[in-house]
Amino acid sequence: MVCACREQKKLREPTEDGRSLYAYDDHVYRTSTEPEKWLVYDPEKGIPTDAIETKVFRTRTDQIGWRVPAVPTEDGKSYWGYTSVPQPGCDWWSNLPTTSSAIQPT
């Protein structure tokens, strides 16, 4: 996950149940001159100086940028298409650890 995030320039963190990831898609703020309007900002540039309130909207995802899960077919010779994975394949993917720290040494 860490390498894919770095390569795709995306911030992701595991959800509380560890079965998917949070994506920080929308960083928004309001100003005193237009308090009813939410504006998007780039978190890498910091919070705008005229912000009076900020919010971050998180969504659950299994994607990191253009990277999607690679779920092998039952015979192990190829991979399912992203929208064609049967439920047992989705369950298999969901049960994989999301970070290397979750992998126990053998």
User: Are residue 33 and residue 75 in the same domain, yes or no?
Assistant: no
In total, how many domains does the chain have? 2
65 pLDDT higher than 70 = yes
pLDDT attached to residue 61: 85
- Regarding pTM above 0.85, the answer is no
- Residues 37 and 2: beta-carbon distance below 8 Å: no
pLDDT in tens, 2-49: 788 889 888 888 788 777 788 877 899 999 999 999 999 998 899 999
pLDDT attached to residue 18: 72
Exposed (0-12), middle (13-18) or buried (19+): which is 11, by Cβ within 10 Å? middle
Give residue 101's pLDDT band: very low, low, confident or very high (50, 70, 90): low
Question: Exposed e or buried b for every residue in 13-35, given b needs 16+ CB within 10 A?
Answer: ebeeeeebbbbeeebebbeeeee
User: Are residue 47 and residue 77 in the same domain, yes or no?
Assistant: no
Is 105 domain-assigned?
no
User: Are residue 74 and residue 62 in the same domain, yes or no?
Assistant: no
User: Are residue 25 and residue 54 in the same domain, yes or no?
Assistant: yes
User: Are residue 25 and residue 62 in the same domain, yes or no?
Assistant: yes
User: Are residue 77 and residue 41 in the same domain, yes or no?
Assistant: no
- Tell me which residue range forms the domain holding 95: 68-99
